[in-house]
Structure 1
Amino acid sequence: MSNELMSIKIIYERFPHIQNKIETNDHQIVLTNQDMVFYQMVQFFKAPKQIPFNLNMIYDHLRDQDLLFAIEVIILFFQQDTTLVWAVDQTYYDQHLLRDQFVGQYKFSKMVEEAIEGMKFKPSMIHTYWRRKTDRIPNADLIIDGTPYWKRSTVACFIEKEKERRENKRRENLGK
């Protein structure tokens, strides 16, 4: 699989049974209508000049997260796995779809407050910690015009570490 296209790798990560079906051609592996959309998509990605892909499958069978995932994978295929998109300064994928993966100070604080009961973590605190480089919060993943942004996964990791830190501090205080 090391030579697989990035778009196919992402589909296989989310739907390993589709990879198993394609690699083994096992007729015992039953696919749902949603699975069949991604199965056909992989077949198309592997041989786009020989195997057609009907967008009606997406319209008929996918909703919500699966629908958005299919769109992202199609964009990824054309932008990164082919040479059909190359004379573009900033791609649609970069400009629109990736914005949802980054959060600013306000959303960072809301994610923390929602995940850790009783914790007050104001955007102004995040700004202060970030400006002072106190190591209290993670480094920003992206800085645009002096404004920090973090990947959602970075914030999630911070939340887990903060929960651990709080639990260790609670245990330490019980021991005193």
Structure 2
Amino acid sequence: MGLPEALQELDEFEATFLRLARFFETPGKESFDLGFLYRHLDNDWLEFALELITDFFREETYLIQKPTYSLIKDGSDYYSLTQFAEELSKRGLRYDRQKLNLYFERGKVPQPDLVVGGVKYWSKKTVRIYGDQEESRLKKTTI
């Protein structure tokens, strides 16, 4: 079944995401009209689609090699120093803000992915990778 036939079986909401997915699969061959987002999505779904597009261009292409633009808000993909320490603590690693800051000053914590107004932020991915490394390191020292 080709795209036109598949689109006929979907509502406009579903068709919008199918078109977007096809663009992600073959961006050089498929095009995507942002007007579909405006006409068929709203609220959380519109925000989700825009986040998918942003992630696609950051992570899946080489078009944005060093991203600098980001909106930091509650529930975002970035953690402040305090939130970074809290995430590590949730994993059973004994970190608080003070300890993490000390480790950062000693160069043991990765550089922030983003600095806004002098405030450091780390991406969820960076926090996850660092947490994995710390868990692995601690397992080696207890053996």
Q: TM-score range by the shorter chain?
A: 0.5 to 0.7
1:104 touches 1:148 (CA, 8 Å); kept in 2?
yes
Amino acid at match of 1:46: S
Q: Which of 63, 67, 71 does residue 96 from structure 1 map onto?
A: 71
Q: 2:95 aligns with which of 107, 116, 121?
A: 121
Long gaps (5+) in structure 1: 1-20, 77-93, 172-176
1:58 and 2:41 are equivalent in the alignment: yes
| Cα gap change, 1:163 to 1:55, in 2 (>3 Å) | same
Unmatched runs of 5 consecutive residues or more in structure 2: 24-29, 56-68
Judged with a 3 Å threshold, the aligned counterparts in structure 2 of structure 1 residues 160 and 36 are, in CA distance, closer, same or farther, namely same
* Structure 2 residue aligned with 1:147: 119
Q: Which has the higher mean CA deviation after the structures are superposed, 123-132 or 36-45? A: 36-45
Q: Distance in 1 between matches of 2:132 and 2:86?
A: 15
Name the count of aligned residue pairs. 123
Q: Per residue, is there more helix in 1 or in 2?
A: 1
Q: Which has the larger radius of gyration?
A: 1
Using the size of structure 1 for normalisation, the TM-score is: 0.51
Residue in structure 1 matching 2:15, options 12, 36, 47: 36
TM-score by length of 2: 0.60
Is contact 1:72-1:97 (8 Å) kept?
no
Supply the RMSD in Å over aligned alpha carbons. Answer: 4.1
Q: How does 1:75-86 map to 2 (within 5 A)?
A: none
Structure 1 match to 2:27: none
Aligned letter for 2:122?
Answer: W
Identity %: 18
